[in-house]
Amino acid sequence: MENDVKVYRLGEECRFVKSTAMAYVEFKGKCAYCGEDLIDDRRYYALGKIDHLLPKSIYPQYADDQRNLVLACDICNSHKGSFNPCPEGEEPEKMLAVKRGELIGRAYEFITEKENKAKLEWQQARRIILDTKE
């Protein structure tokens, strides 16, 4: 009931689309993948995205299904892209209904690998630009 009030108020007072408000409330303003707080700072808030856990390019039937929508930071959303966390042979309906956390975990592992590579590239670029020997 309390969450319903929050969703309603976000829609009325902050012009949130209902599905977006529901994702922000469900994940308490944190990225579903990395846990980054997207409501603590205005800049992070501006970078919040609604991600389709199961890519809508593969599963268009779940594009508007609330179980398929998660709050993500811009970095995680970008790294995930159209990655499909649903294992081959698994029923997407069952995964969303019963094993949604497992899907989020698989996406997190994929994102983490890409983020680790991106951090190494950033560190190298930083060293070159600043001409440091870190």
pLDDT in tens, 13-49: 999 999 999 999 999 999 999 999 999 999 888 899 9
Q: Is 133 a residue whose pLDDT tops 80?
A: no
Phi, psi (rounded to 5 degrees) for 107? -65, -40
Task: Quote the CA–CA distance of 55 and 53 in Å, as a whole number.
Answer: 6
Q: Please report which confidence band the pLDDT of residue 107 belongs to, taking 50, 70 and 90 as the band edges.
A: very high
- Residue 125 pLDDT greater than 90, yes or no: yes
Q: Give the C-alpha separation, 133 to 10, whole Å.
A: 48
* Structural contact between residues 80 and 33, judged by C-beta atoms closer than 8 angstroms: yes
Q: Are 83 and 107 in contact (CB under 8 A)?
A: yes
CB atoms within 10 A of CB 102: 14
* Both tokens assigned to 52: 């389709």
Instruction: Identify the band that residue 2 occupies on the pLDDT scale cut at 50, 70 and 90.
Output: confident
**pLDDT of residue 134 exceeding 90:** no
